[in-house]
Structure formats: C-alpha cells, structure tokens
Copies of this chain bind each other. A is one copy, B any other.
C-alpha cells in the first residue's frame, strides 16, 4: 500500500512536471524569453510559482528542458515519417515528407518545437551551448537526406549542401515568425515550399 501510494504520488508529480513544461513552452513561445515570468507560466499551468520551483531550480533550467523537448520531438517526428515511406520512395518524396513534417510540427503540432525555434537565439549563451549537440544531430540527419538525393542524381551537383540544408530549414523555420492560422493551410504552405525548393520559381 505504501509503495502504491508512493507510486501514485510520483505519477502525480510527473504529471505536474509535464503540465508545467507544456505551459512553459506555450508561454515562452508566445511572449519570448525576456518577457516571460515564472508567474505567467504558473498561471498558464494552473499552479503556483512555488510548485514550479519544486520541479525546476530556475527559469534557466525550465527553458532548457523546453528547448530539449523541442529539438528531440521534431527530429523523431521527421525520422518516423521518412522511415514510414514505402521502400524505394524517391529522394524527392523523402525530402518533401521531411519538409512537411518539420513545418507542421513547428506550426501547430507541438508547443515545444515552436518554443524552441522562437527561443533559441534568445536564451543565455551557456544554455545555447549545451543545446548545440542536439541541433548537430538533427542537422546531420538532414545532411544525409540531401547527400542521398545528390548521390541518386536527384539534386544538382553544384550546390553546397551545408548552405542548402540551412537554406531549407531557414525558409521552414521562418514560417513560425509570420504564420497565422486561418488564411492558408499548413498543407498549402508546405506544398509551395516543397515545389519551389525543387523546381524554383522561374516561369
């Protein structure tokens, strides 16, 4: 009985932690790092600042946890979607799926990804430093996608793939700065991004 009660207590504590993280992601994404107070996050989570301090030592620790969930979440979603494609899918199909998934993840599906993209440049340098290996792993995945496409002869040989990778992710990530739900669907934006990236805008 004591063990069951302890387990239930742990579950409740874990649930509160997750609720705080979720609220933190949403408030940080909405207001930016400089403008967010722990009391705003507590309010969003329906708890008190004291409860946040029970789970996280500081605003820095909290933002770091949010950022980590942001990068690892989008990476997993993209990889899962690409790996679920039928074997023998073209590299264009694979890259298009990666672009669509990253975009959709950033724009709606996940407050952590949105927060990550808006916050990364804003947080103190030492936090950014500790996040870099996560970004590198995701960048490495994209590098392999693009190298595969080039090896298969599906993309031009004269392009610098590092610039290309950052160029694609830049166009995708920037949508977070301007997208408002309603006017255009995420599918429409993803379709235009994918088609112009592959075929260009020239008539």
Contacts and interface: CB of A to CB of B under 8 A. Distances in A.
A189 B162 CA distance: 10
B175 A170 contact: yes
Q: How many copies does the complex hold?
A: 2
A103 B92 CA distance: 28
A39 interface: no
A57 interface: no
Interface residues of A, number: 46
Interface string A118-131: 10011111000000
Interface string A180-193: 00001000110011
The A interface is mostly helix, strand or loop, or mixed, namely helix
A171 interface: yes
Nearest to A155: B201
A124 B35 contact: yes
A72 interface: no
Nearest to A179: B166
A160 B174 contact: no
A203 interface: yes
A174 B169 contact: yes
B159 A192 contact: yes
B201 A197 contact: yes
